[in-house]
Amino acid sequence: MKKIDVAVLGATGTVGQKFIVLLQNHPYFEVKELVASERSAGKPYAAACSWKQNIPIPRNVAGLTVKSTEEILNSRILFSGLDSSVAGSAEEKYASEGHLVISNSSNHRMDRHVPLVIPEVNPDHLELIYRQQYDGAIVTNPNCSTIFLVMAIAPLYREFGVEAVNVTTLQAISGAGYPGVPSLDILGNVVPYIGSEEEKVETEPLKILGALSGDHIEPVSIKISAQCTRVPVYDGHTETLSIKLKSRAGLADVRRVLENFSGLPQELKLPSAPERPILVRTEEDRPQPRFDRDHGHGMSITVGRIRPCNVLDFKFLILSHNTVRGAAGASILNAEYLKAEGYF
């Protein structure tokens, strides 16, 4: 099968680099174009980029000449890791020009006609792309901490209903990009604030779990409260969560529902879909970033320490890889699903 040419927008950034790593030898897609800022445009990628990944730059990408956002792109599919300072208008421009923009940026997530999708949870929302005013379309995935949270509460929401969620995140430094968090701020320290993060975690889930209603999503009403912190961990966000369900459930029910969670990406055996979206661990001291971020090649979330909560109903921990399932991998899974379901 001939692979589909794709471009990576924001190719020199942290998310852009991760797109390139995850798309190496991808069965559907082949990176043929790279877009970055004016400063990088015109240079070979290897020269323009301060590469920070554990594997070398893939050969077929290293020599590509970086394009500016002004240049016309030939690829129909664009993966966007653009910085939110430029993603807003740039993604609109590309969508207007007929491209399908699969974006990890936050700018358009809450736009009325833009689907905000985790393919295991709300793939039907992708229908919204036919309601967009663009010749092409914009498809987004949620914020990293939102994705992990929603993957964990979605099966409970379906089975029991959810009234309220209280969550504290302990987020890895790689989530802030490069140069990102100065070492003087985080070495041996905790920074209890991440700009806009709590708002995202409190609002995005309401759209994701909402119902497609014609040209928009009718949000659900769940009370979500988030406290987001940065900790000196390289990769892997930890979340402590308390949840109040609508209907009565036992501990065993909660565990079973989480463990059995599966979706269309699993059914379709999409290349990036983990066999099991949620792994439930029973050890008293898991999940941990070091040991649990890479399950399912970074696309599974791990849940642990499920137990009753004195304040809400249950509490447990969530962990996943913030730059894979929480960013670039999330976009790629969206694209795989769109491809498999014939959206393009």
Q: Is 284 in the site for a second copy (CB under 8 A)?
A: yes
C-alpha distances out from residue 305 to 46, 168, 225, Å: 44, 15, 20
CB of 172 to a second copy, least distance (A): 9
Q: Pick the stretch among 145-153, 165-173, 253-261, 336-344 that binds a second copy (CB under 8 A).
A: 165-173
Mask: binding to a second copy, 17-46, rule CB under 8 A, as x and -?
A: ------------------------------
| CA–CA separation, 247 and 157 (whole Å) | 10
| CA–CA separation, 313 and 315 (whole Å) | 7
Catalytic residue among 99, 108, 125, 237: 237
CB of 91 to a second copy, least distance (A): 26
| CA–CA separation, 114 and 291 (whole Å) | 35
For a second copy, give the closer residue by CB, 1 or 311. 311
CB 124 within 8 A of CB 211: no
CB of 94 to a second copy, least distance (A): 28
Catalytic residue among 99, 108, 125, 144: 144
For residue 82, report the phi and psi dihedrals to the nearest 5 degrees.
-65, 145
| CA–CA separation, 147 and 237 (whole Å) | 11
Q: Is 164 in the site for a second copy (CB under 8 A)?
A: yes
| CA–CA separation, 311 and 315 (whole Å) | 9
Q: Is 288 in the site for a second copy (CB under 8 A)?
A: yes
The SS3 call for residue 213 is strand
Two tokens, residue 208: 């994701």
- Is 113 annotated in the active site? no
Q: Pick the stretch among 118-126, 147-155, 284-292, 325-333 that binds a second copy (CB under 8 A).
A: 284-292
CB of 270 to a second copy, least distance (A): 23
CB 117 within 8 A of CB 341: no
Question: Which positions touch a second copy (CB under 8 A)?
Answer: 52, 54, 164-166, 168, 170, 173-174, 178-193, 202, 223-225, 227, 229, 231-234, 238, 240, 242, 244, 284-291, 294, 304-305, 309-312, 315, 317
